[in-house]
Structure 1
């Protein structure tokens, strides 16, 4: 059942992305779209994640072009803590005037499964505007581990069940769920070691305290190039331009594997259609800007262009998929 769900969800995602592939934008999109009924006040973009995170980097990169497209300056505000719940709470409670938006990650649909209480409905209390990018994760191992491919890692894990430790950025994090999907698809046995963030995880991974992990490309590319970590494969359905020589996990011998974190623009529920359409045009134009292109290259992202109509279905499918993975992992947070 889980494999069938994964294939259906990603088939829909691939179809949406293929149907509306992001390309260069010209003409009317270069003109300010404006927000119907709004003054020239700035738009507040709440990022419920820390400054310096991948989502934050993208938010700040698109801010100038988004402001030019809407005619409203975009001000990024980081509201961190509890997996992004406090920040998202402010987004869902904001007035429906389009002057408060949010840029969220996959955690938005993971939180309802791992936290005992979330003070909003992750589907009903938001207006999905666009899913703009996926964050490929790279499977890396300590170079002392005698494996140089995914097939060798799987064989080693089968020979020594329960011996290998994998690290993550915490219980219920996308990094844990990516590893749990690998466990599910291959039948191997791994021990989970949760960390408080990716910094300590990478330090211990280099030191050999844990043997493998899924981590975003931007966070380990220098270590991979220096040889202090060995990269085996990419989690996403297509290869990453940041590490083009690496196969996907599907190419490397796990045919049903496909996992990525993602970034989306949302607003509070029941935003007027005219506002949603204006914001959707603005985010497309912003994602094609030089500022965004530089950030995308630096973060190793894959661009998506899933607009308002398809974004709602995407959120629903992702919520269901992560419910299955969280249940498998056993992750629960207070």
Structure 2
């Protein structure tokens, strides 16, 4: 479902985050604002989410009026870093930047030490990015998604697709496509996208869903053929590539996103102040251009919109994980 439509429909039933009754005195606010803001990223340095965080650093420093310290805490698919976020002080001195994996992990790990919704304070979804359905240029004859579906149906045991690992966004996006198209293919999980791309280009794997920023250079170089983008509208970076929905699977939409969260129980004043400062930072041309260069679209959802969005994403990804049978590597 389109993110904008979903937010509009769900906003009316959002649980107001401003109903939190925790006290927050002016003295506490002054003390907190004099300290650096810790932004925990539950991903390794150099990852896509880390790149988003670091591209925001100067704009966040200006908007918040204090230094921003980015802390990478990778491990267990993001669980270790997110656990630090949910255990952080409830004063706004520590925030977290999470991705779509936040709503996938509860379904692929047997033991998750926190609740993905109840133990956080959603602040804002700040960026989204389409995925691109790409195929090998030699082993796949199809030039369109409709032709590719026909090819898959004709040889159900022939084709394989790569992903960045079991239960990752790329895995679930491909499974979603196969399910909606009514076709099958063999899943080949990789440890990240590097070797996956190499093998699609080399023909060892036939196709996959790739992040836009990763796929675009290979597509423009003619090393991969793009059939469709996963979002509800075309990407300005690949304007000639239709959406999956345009290509015969109505209502198909799947994107990756990045959100800012805090620990549960943040005071209303902190929530409101943090959101306004984020909104100020994200409104700058610097952020817009930086995100675009990475294949992301900058955006801001209010705290009241963000919670129902995360709940909906949790429900959607739970169904996809069950359908795929994915478990953590």
Q: Is TM-score (shorter-chain normalized) higher than 0.5?
A: yes
1:242 aligns with 2:232: no
Aligned to 2:76: 82
Aligned to 1:26: none
Aligned to 1:3: none
Offset at residue 191 of structure 1 (A): 0.8
1:55 aligns with 2:49: yes
1:134 aligns with 2:134: no
Aligned to 1:123: 117
Offset at residue 76 of structure 1 (A): 0.9
Distance 2:203 2:2 in 1: 37
1:272 aligns with 2:271: no
Aligned to 1:23: none
1:96 aligns with 2:97: no
For the Cα contact (< 8 Å) 1:185–1:256, is it kept in 2?
no
For the Cα contact (< 8 Å) 2:228–2:247, is it kept in 1?
yes
1:72 aligns with 2:62: no
Unaligned runs of 5+ residues in structure 2 are 12-27
Determine helix, strand or coil for the equivalent of 2:249: coil
TM-score (norm 2): 0.91
Distance 1:249 1:291 in 2: 31
Distance 1:152 1:15 in 2: 35
Q: 1:211 to 1:148 in 2, by over 3 A?
A: same
Unaligned runs of 5+ residues in structure 1 are 1-6, 18-33
Determine helix, strand or coil for the equivalent of 1:266: strand
Q: How many aligned residue pairs are there?
A: 312
Aligned to 2:282: 287
> Cα RMSD between the aligned structures?
1.8
Aligned to 1:22: none
Runs of 4 or more, structure 1, over 6 Å off, are: none
Query: Aligned match of 1:316 in 307, 311, 319?
Result: 311
Q: 1:253 to 1:271 in 2, by over 3 A?
A: same
Distance 1:158 1:303 in 2: 38
Offset at residue 74 of structure 1 (A): 1.0
TM-score (norm 1): 0.89
Q: Deviations along 1:115-170, whole A, 9 cap, x unmatched?
A: 01111110011000001111210110000110100001000000001211010000
Distance 2:292 2:327 in 1: 34
Aligned to 2:7: 13
Aligned to 1:329: 324
For the Cα contact (< 8 Å) 2:2–2:253, is it kept in 1?
no
Query: Aligned match of 1:302 in 297, 311, 320?
Result: 297
1:211 aligns with 2:206: yes
1:219-230 → structure 2 map (5 Å cutoff): 219-230=214-225
1:187 aligns with 2:200: no
Distance 1:140 1:8 in 2: 22
Offset at residue 303 of structure 1 (A): 2.9
Q: Deviations along 1:169-188, whole A, 9 cap, x unmatched?
A: 00000001101111111101
Aligned to 2:24: none
Distance 2:118 2:163 in 1: 30
